[in-house]
């Protein structure tokens, strides 16, 4: 991202949503509530400068390396409702800080190295409704965080670290509706899934669930959608 592009973004009067991805796109600049910029590199601190706009509510940065200054700016931007940082260098410490945002409803960090370490001390979120972190090696600490976050309805956790023990930590979650399972999940997970009262859709395409286990799920929950 060039200085000119950064200046162009910050000059937009009522910017609410920003998408940045490190692929070659044509830069489009419009004086309205959305902007999309393709880039190969982000100058350290560029995100922090953009976030000086207090109107920004949704931030989507993919396939980019961010600076510590940028992550601090994201975690301090109290107006953010959605943060997607897929395929970035986000760390567990930085994720934990972002999860504290009071208005955050949607968070994504797919294909990163986050594990959830340190979240055992996090009280959970009262605002987050959707988490997508497929391809990310999240573990038990992260599952426990989800269990303490009662409004989460969508959870994408397709990764070999997500096993039966992980799903057991989600038992009786009050709001979870959509769940993506990984390849290490077995038939023993059925009992855990049946304790989740709002569950409507389970993506089992990469799981090890047998046909018998799937039939048992559908027998008890005939309206459950198995993708």
Domain termination residue (choose one: 14, 43, 58): 58
Domain termination residue (choose one: 26, 58, 90): 58
The residue segments making up the domain with residue 220 are 81-226
pLDDT for residue 159: 95
**Could you count the other beta carbons within 10 Å of the beta carbon of residue 160?**
11
Q: Do 24 and 102 fall into the same domain?
A: no
In order along the chain (227 residues), what is the average pLDDT of each group of 10 residues? Answer: 46 54 42 36 74 83 90 94 95 97 97 95 96 96 98 97 96 98 94 98 93 96 95
pLDDT for residue 26: 34
Which candidate, 50, 45, 61, 104, places its Cα nearest to that of 79? 104
Q: How far is CA 205 from the centre of its chain?
A: 20
Which candidate, 18, 68, 29, places its Cα nearest to that of 48? 68
Q: Do 213 and 120 fall into the same domain?
A: yes
Q: Do 193 and 90 fall into the same domain?
A: yes
Is 67 within a domain?
A: no
Q: Do 156 and 103 fall into the same domain?
A: yes
pTM: 0.84
Is 116 within a domain?
A: yes
Residue 79 — φ and ψ, nearest 5°?
-90, -10
Which candidate, 199, 194, 197, 195, places its Cα nearest to that of 180? 199
pLDDT for residue 56: 87
Residue 130: give its domain's CATH number.
3.80.10.10
Q: Do 164 and 217 fall into the same domain?
A: yes
Signed CA dihedral, 164, 196, 182, 187: sign only: positive
Q: How far apart are CA 152 and CA 178, in angstroms?
A: 9
CA distances from 155 to 88, 144, 176, 202, 221 (A): 19, 13, 8, 10, 19
């Amino acid at each position: 991202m060039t200085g000119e592009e950064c200046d162009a973004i910050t000059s937009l009067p009522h910017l609410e949503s920003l998408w940045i991805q490190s692929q070659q796109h044509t830069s489009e600049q419009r004086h309205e509530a959305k902007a999309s910029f393709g880039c190969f590199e982000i100058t350290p601190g560029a995100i922090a400068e953009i976030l000086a706009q207090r109107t920004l509510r949704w931030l989507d940065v993919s396939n980019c390396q961010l600076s510590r200054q940028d992550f601090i700016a994201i975690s301090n931007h109290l107006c953010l409702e959605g943060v997607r940082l897929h395929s970035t260098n986000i760390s567990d410490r930085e994720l934990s800080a972002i999860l504290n945002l009071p208005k955050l409803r949607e968070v994504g960090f797919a294909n990163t190295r986050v594990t959830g370490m340190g979240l055992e001390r996090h009280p959970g979120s009262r605002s987050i409704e959707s988490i997508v972190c497929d391809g990310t090696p999240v573990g038990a600490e992260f599952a426990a965080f989800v269990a303490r976050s009662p409004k989460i309805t969508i959870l994408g956790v397709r990764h070999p670290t997500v096993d039966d023990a992980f799903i057991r930590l989600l038992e009786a979650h009050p709001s979870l509706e959509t769940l993506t399972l990984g390849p290490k999940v077995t038939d023993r997970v059925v009992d855990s899934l049946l304790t989740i009262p709002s569950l409507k859709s389970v993506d089992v395409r990469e799981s090890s669930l047998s046909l018998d286990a799937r039939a048992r799920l559908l027998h008890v929950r005939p309206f459950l959608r198995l993708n």
